[in-house]
Amino acid sequence: MILLFDADSLIYSSCINVEDLEEACAKFDEVLMSIVNKLDEEYDVKELIVFNSAKGNFRKFVLNSYKANRTAPKPPLLNQLTEHVIKEYNSRIAYGMETDDLVATYWNKLQKEFGRDNVIIVALDKDYKQLPCLLYNYHVKHQTMWNISEQQALYNFYTQMIVGDSADNVNFCKGYGVKYAEKIFKNCKSKYQFIRKTFELFKQIYKSKAREKFITCYTVLKLRT
């Protein structure tokens, strides 16, 4: 089994309530290895590929308000711990996109080469649910393995286009939520059907600008593979 570990969230949390860089590094290393060891007991882990840090993000050029709501100060040790992880784990860095885009790109390549059931994405980010993948949420309160089908991946992505993503300040269909998505996607089977139902809502909201808004929303939310 190949593990693709999105380390950004763990790096951030490892900087909280620690006194110095040494403690932050130890905290990160301990949690990471505990996750890998847990998965190795069941899936026979052969390789771990770590991803963290991103430089440049095309989405901010597509949508000016993207992540503009993130104004909280970063933990003081964040940059130093980021560099530690890059050095110690030879982690992959995303350029011109986000970490989850790079993870998704690796996943797509590796699942084609080794088989979909031989690659696990390890992350807290819900955006990965738009991929028909094995996804492990390592949060202590969850520790859940998701086996996402093609159908579920389509449903998850187009639901997100309607519901939006408050964490990234993306909300094109204000006032429409999960229940609405459940209703209109109830009988959808194909990608075309999901697109048609979603676009109908965009036409209702944006009239002549529906296509432009739909494309912008899709571009911002869709992971690159």
Domain limits, the chain: 2-147, 150-221
In the predicted model, what is the mean pLDDT of residues 163-189?
Answer: 92
Predicted local distance difference test score (pLDDT) of residue 66? 82
Alpha-carbon span 184 to 158, nearest angstrom: 11
Alpha-carbon span 225 to 177, nearest angstrom: 27
Predicted local distance difference test score (pLDDT) of residue 203? 97
User: Comparing C-alpha atoms, which of 126, 136, 132, 123 is closest to residue 151?
Assistant: 132
2-147, what's its fold? Rossmann fold (3.40.50)
Which pLDDT band holds residue 72 (cuts at 50, 70, 90)?
A: confident
User: Comparing C-alpha atoms, which of 128, 184, 133, 136 is closest to residue 159?
Assistant: 184
Average pLDDT along the chain:
94
**What is the distance, to the nearest Å, from the Cα of residue 127 to the centroid of all Cα atoms in its chain?**
4
Listed range (1-10, 67-76, 80-89, 107-116) with the worst mean pLDDT: 67-76
Alpha-carbon span 113 to 2, nearest angstrom: 12
Which pLDDT band holds residue 176 (cuts at 50, 70, 90)?
A: very high
Confidence check: pLDDT of 71 > 80 = no
What pTM, to 2 d.p., does this model score?
0.94
